[in-house]
Amino acid sequence: MDFNVKKLASDAGVFFSRAMQFTEEKLGQAEKTELDAHFENLLARADCTKNWTEKILRQTEVLLQPNPSARVEEFLYEKLDRKVPSRVTNGELLAQYMTEAANDFGPGTPYGKTLIKVGETQRRLGAAERDFIHSASINFLTPLRNFLEGDWRTISKERRILQNRRLDLDACKARLKKAKAAEAKAACEGDAVPDFQETRPRNYVLSASASALWSDEVEKAEHELRLTQTEFDRQAEVTRLLLEGISSTHVNHLRCLHEFVESQTNYYAQCYQYMLDLQKQLGRFSGTFVGNAESTSPPAATSPPAVAAATLPAVPTIPVVPTIVGVPNTVAESVLNPNEVKPPASGTRKARVLYDYEAADSTELALLADEMITVYSLPGMDPDWLIGERGNQKGKVPVTYLELLS
């Protein structure tokens, strides 16, 4: 290894001199070259961009991966330049447990069937979450990380060089100032009339020689100042161009932010659609959980919308059209055509819709929250469903989406 003691000592001396000068500037004991207001604004803007980018990056990582241990593991893999192993999402793990539980309880039982349906939805939710995390990492986190680890490091390096150039410039200014003061003092001593009768007339010669030496020192200091000023101006221009590039960074981050929002919107839209499909499936087949499918009184609601309805006052049961004795109930849900049935002469009720509902097929009636419809029941219908009418429109509607009015 090339070990240059002289260079090491020189660098140590420069470092010590700059440290002393920086300390004197902080204490107000030394002059400091001030940058222009525009340059200072660029520096403040760059620092603000760096600080907020770090915070947004860290919090987005927490959003995408709440587990701190997993984040540390991903960080280590990234630093080691190795591929991060695929990790099962919480939704996929829950889907696995539900499927295994359904196999143990019996996939043909009502509980087992429901576990399989819910597990499949959880698996789809987990896959959507995985796609969202991957998309957000590439389109949003990576550009932020590239700025902090690339552009910002370059800016910081050039700022440090500019700081050193400024300290060198101020040192040259101080050196020139001292040389000029010494030269003026020597010139004043040289202008005095010598006394040739004194015992030591050589003082006059020494003063003249000192004045010449200080003149040379002033010329040398001025030359160093010009060189240092040129280097400082060049470095200031380089740093200024990099700082002005922060505007381009903002434009790039804005585009990435739009992509992140789009990915998040698609993710939540997928989740909503998956849960809506699951809710329809559970509502459609909820009659399998009732012991007597021919029961005319609806059981306690088990779907999520019934939570809000459970707090409402009890309402009368919707009357059912009487069944003719001796005639079998052939009006089943699978063959029911709401457009062909007629409401009973008595027993219709008004109902207020609690939630929006999208019809799954032509036999169902789409609902809008807070609208009023007329409802009634028919023999053989699933107790969780009613016939709803709104003007000339007619179709099946889920009970759990309604507030029956007395």
- Give the C-alpha separation, 406 to 318, whole Å: 10
pLDDT at 184: 80
Give 206-211 contacts, CB < 8 A, sequence gap 24+. 210/186, 211/183, 211/186, 211/187
Confidence of residue 181 (pLDDT cuts 50, 70, 90): confident
> What is the dotted CATH code of the domain comprising 31-191+211-288?
1.20.1270.60
The pTM of the full predicted model, rounded to 2 decimals, is 0.59
What's the pLDDT tens digit per position in 224-252? 999 999 999 999 999 999 999 999 999 99
- Write down the domain spans for the chain: 31-191+211-288, 348-405
Considering only residues 233 and 171, tell me which one the structure prediction assigns the higher pLDDT: 233
Per-residue pLDDT band at 26 (split at 50, 70, 90): low
DSSP state of 327: S
pLDDT given at position 49: 96
Residue 366 has pLDDT above 60, yes or no: yes
Q: Which residues contact 202 (CB under 8 A, 6 or more apart)?
A: none
- Tokens matching residue 145: 């990380």
Specify burial of residue 168 (Cβ count, 10 A radius: 0-12, 13-18, 19+).
Answer: buried
Q: CA-CA distance, 246 to 253, in Å (whole number)?
A: 10
CATH of 348-405, one of 2.40.30.10, 1.20.1050.10, 2.30.130.10, 2.30.30.40: 2.30.30.40
Q: H-helix or E-strand containing 233? A: helix 202-244
SS3 131: helix
Say which residue, 12 or 344, is predicted with more confidence: 344
